[in-house]
Amino acid sequence: MSSAGDAARAEAQRADGRDGGNKGTASTTENRGKRAEEYAQNAICGRPTAHTVVDGLSERYPMSRRPRGAALIFAHSEFEDKALKPRPSAAHDAEIARAAFEALDFQPEVFFDLTKDELVRKLREVSQRDHSGCDALAVVFMSHGEVKARNNMELVCAKDDRLPTKELWINFTAERCPGLAGKPKLYFIQACRGPEVDKGVRMTRPAFGIPVQTDSIQEDYVIPLHADQLVMWASYPGFPAFTSERKGIQGSVFIHFLAENLKNCASTSPRLSSILLKVTREVAVLYESEIDSQNPYHKNKQVPYIHSTLLREIYF
């Protein structure tokens, strides 16, 4: 290997930095800001350490423990703000979610109509538990949601107040909850994400066929603080989530298809990514709202939305 090549690689390593930043930006105080400077100073002292039995490049998360972990189910039906309509489907949705996660050998804990402070306290309390004997954590949150027009911040509603959606998972990042570091954290959110309208697009089959072209073990490793997390919302950003009393749904459309598919998979052990893809497909294809024909949300479509930093597959 040439010395010129070694020098080029060394230079590339020294120049490693933020995409979009100038060379060396990460080491200059004036470009970081006070908060980033404090974080960098703390980082000099070392990073948090958590234990794992998983090889860094393993393709699957271990999911053999019983129970697999806690499944926190937060259902909100009544609100102090009278501008927020009651959610009569909350009890039904909580029950089918509880049954689904119980079938998957999680340990469900159901909470109704918590205030903002009670909700935040519960999440913090769970994050401080001993999770060494768990394989995963699941959180299901069902309520109203909205978006702040000023800064596009997404909010969900507790009984008495709003809170940023990120509060649902902020206590379970790797540095705040080392017992769950390297383990999957799954969040399912039934709440509106805005008022936009989605009438969908009619799909038809073409008259003629269209041709289709087919086509080492690490002793230790470091993961990002926000790795191993999946958040699945009932709807796409900016759009509402619907409830229905048709076709056997009797509650939130997203929770219905999610619970149904999770429960059905308990005996077949497929992978989570396939299950959630099926949930997304069924909500998108099988559901269309039926309201007063003069209502802008009549004949609207809904599609769930996933944000994932999972590093491996989950098989039940």
The whole-angstrom separation of Cα 75 and Cα 70 is 16
Cα-to-chain-centroid distance, residue 295: 31
Catalytic pick among 157, 177, 192, 265: 192
Catalytic pick among 76, 131, 134, 144: 144
- To the query of whether residue 192 is one of the catalytic residues in this protein, the response is yes
Tokens of 210: 């269209």
- To the query of whether residue 76 is one of the catalytic residues in this protein, the response is no
Residues noted as catalytic: 144, 192
